[in-house]
Amino acid sequence: MSQNYIEIQTVAKHYGKVKALNGATLAFEKGGQYALTGASGSGKSTLLYLIGGLDRADEGSVLVDGKNLNTFNDEELAKYRGNEVGFVFQFHFLLNSLNCIDNILLPSKISAQNSKEVEKRVADLANQLGVSNLLEKYPYQLSGGEQQRINIIRALSLKPKLLLCDEPTGNLDSNNTEIVVNLLMKLASENGTTLIVVTHDRSVASRFSHQVEMKDGQIVH
């Protein structure tokens, strides 16, 4: 039986006079894979940020695994992000002053997780993604597709329950887009991770079993 892992209940979010979300209501199943689509300004990224604890709803509730994120203080939200959520953005946000392996291991050092377990998992992910030979290189030495694969390893290094991706293929060519989408879906499926991907690319969205369309801050399909 399917189980709702995330529940968005009549959520509103305003930025000044702009209604980024306007009574959005939606549920995501545990372990499900979802594409969020819609025009620019439809509220896709805002919804993703609320689910990820990067921002707070002005009205309504965001429930993740039965916990209302609106009741969390800043410290609790930071712990939630560090322990339960992996993020992959359009821009990789890797530090050029660190090599790739140090970039990947940075979140684990902040969260004080078992370093040996994380390093073993990272080595396995790097092997699966075909970038084991790149770990000692610096981000600026890699192609866009390689940088995004390093970013995916970093996002999955702590075994998050939830993987949130905001236009992860936005800067990639069609070949690397297919590679990255395949990897995200495969790795999420293998680990039982709930995957939510914001995308404007219809060919990417069509790969997902669940497609959610947004318009004017509301769920329309």
Alpha helices (runs of H) in the chain, residue ranges in sequence order: 44-51, 74-84, 100-111, 115-128, 144-156, 174-191, 202-205
Predicted model pTM: 0.90
Strand-pairing partners, residue 215, are: 218
Q: How far from chain centre, in Å, is Cα 104?
A: 15
Q: What percent of the chain has pLDDT over 90?
A: 60
Q: Which superfamily does 4-219 belong to?
A: P-loop containing nucleotide triphosphate hydrolases (3.40.50.300)
Q: Is the pLDDT of residue 109 over 90?
A: no
Can you tell me the mean pLDDT for 154-182?
88
**Residue 175 in this model has a pLDDT that exceeds 90:** no
> Which pLDDT does position 193 carry in this prediction?
94
> Dmax of the chain from CA atoms?
49
CA 150 to chain centre: 14
The rounded distance, in Å, linking the Cα atoms of 133 and 131 is: 5
Residues 171-194 have a mean pLDDT of 88
**pLDDT at residue number 1:** 41
Q: Give the integer Cα–Cα distance in Å for 167 and 109.
A: 27
**Phi-psi domain of 163 (left: phi exceeds 0; alpha: psi -120 through 50; beta: other):** beta
Q: Where are the domains of the chain?
A: 4-219
In this prediction, residue 114 carries a pLDDT of 66
